[in-house]
Amino acid sequence: MSLKDKLIDYARLVKFEHTVFALPFALASVLILYKSFPSWWKVFWIVFALVSARTAGMSLNRLIDLPIDEKNPRTKNWVHVSGRVKKHEIIILIIISCVLFIFSTLFINFYAFLLSPVVIFLLWLYPYSKRFTNFPHLVLGVIYFLIPIGVDVALNEEVSLLSVLLGTAMAFWVAGFDILYSLQDYEFDKQHHIKSVAVRFGIESAIVLSRFFHAITFFSLMLVGLISSQLGYIYFIGLLVLAGFLFYEHSLIKPHDLSKINKAFFTVNGYISLIFLFVVLLDRLL
């Protein structure tokens, strides 16, 4: 196997394309939270920390869930199940990405470094959470909650109300679409005693809860605009556009028709994150 093929397999392992969910939101948080514009060097290390932490998290997920993924028909062709990426390679990738994440926080500030073990612990905990709680989606949400918090710590060495609201918005956005994503494994999860909101309360209730979570996201972002002295009317117009995308996402998912889950999960949420970054950037520039 060539180096190019191996790198492609590693990218598939960690679903690198899904970075489009977290990275634009993190950069938007930088634009909202900075008091004096940070050096590009610090921005680089913030992005590096985010990418390395996400790589560690996805690799831990693949390693810990390997026994489950081997039984799931939906995941039987994934690179870690088919053997294209070996178990020891995943372990090496976890170690390297965790080391790089901790290393990157040292270039940000001491407080970010102190926060790094908490992040790694939550990344390790999330794959196990579906074994002991019906709300593993909220565990994932907590991880994303920490992104704006981490940005605030990196930029301002504090945890402000704005970063808490941004974290809340991001946490419930991710938890909401993770509930929808889990629906495609509903029957498999029931059979193998894997916990989720859908398995515990049913598909229809899970969809309703996902909508509620996304309503929290919208109102949290509204509060961000109302509290921040840096954001203006462009931001609020952008929120109306985001609300339209959230509404469209949920219109794709019906209790008896889950055929459009991938479109709702990846395509629509990718647009939501990118549009939010664009709107915040445009608002700050104008």
- 55 burial (CB, 10 Å; 0-12 / 13-18 / 19+) is buried
Model pLDDT, residue 267: 79
Percent of the chain with pLDDT over 70: 100
* Residues paired with 257 in a beta bridge: 254
Model pLDDT, residue 22: 84
pTM of the predicted structure, to 2 decimals: 0.93
- Domains of the chain and any CATH numbers: 3-285 (1.10.357.140)
Give tens-digit pLDDT for 65-76. Answer: 999 999 999 999
Q: How far apart are CA 253 and CA 207, in angstroms?
A: 8
Q: Is the dihedral of CA 178, 221, 53, 282 positive or negative?
A: positive
Q: How far apart are CA 157 and CA 85, in angstroms?
A: 39
Q: How far apart are CA 84 and CA 79, in angstroms?
A: 5
Model pLDDT, residue 160: 95
User: Are 21 and 270 within 8 A, CB to CB?
Assistant: yes
User: Does residue 1 carry a pLDDT above 90?
Assistant: no
User: Does residue 62 carry a pLDDT above 70?
Assistant: yes
Give tens-digit pLDDT for 127-176. Answer: 999 999 999 999 999 999 999 999 999 999 999 999 999 999 999 999 99
For tokens 């840096």, the residue is 230
User: Are 214 and 252 within 8 A, CB to CB?
Assistant: no
* Residues paired with 254 in a beta bridge: 257
Give tens-digit pLDDT for 20-34. Answer: 778 899 999 999 999
> In the 3-class helix/strand/coil scheme, how is the chain assigned residue by residue?
CCHHHHHHHHHHHCCHHHHHHHHHHHHHHHHHHCCCCCCHHHHHHHHHHHHHHHHHHHHHHHHHCHHHHCCCHHHCCCHHHHCCCCHHHHHHHHHHHHHHHHHHHHCCCHHHHHHHHHHHHHHHHHHHHHHHCCCHHHHHHHHHHHHHHHHHHHHHCCCCHHHHHHHHHHHHHHHHHHHHHHHHHHHHHHHCCCCCHHHHHCHHHHHHHHHHHHHHHHHHHHHHHHHCCCCCHHHHHHHHHHHHHHHHHHHHCECCECCCHHHHHHHHHHHHHHHHHHHHHHHHHC
Q: Summarize the confidence of residues 238-257 as an average pLDDT.
A: 92
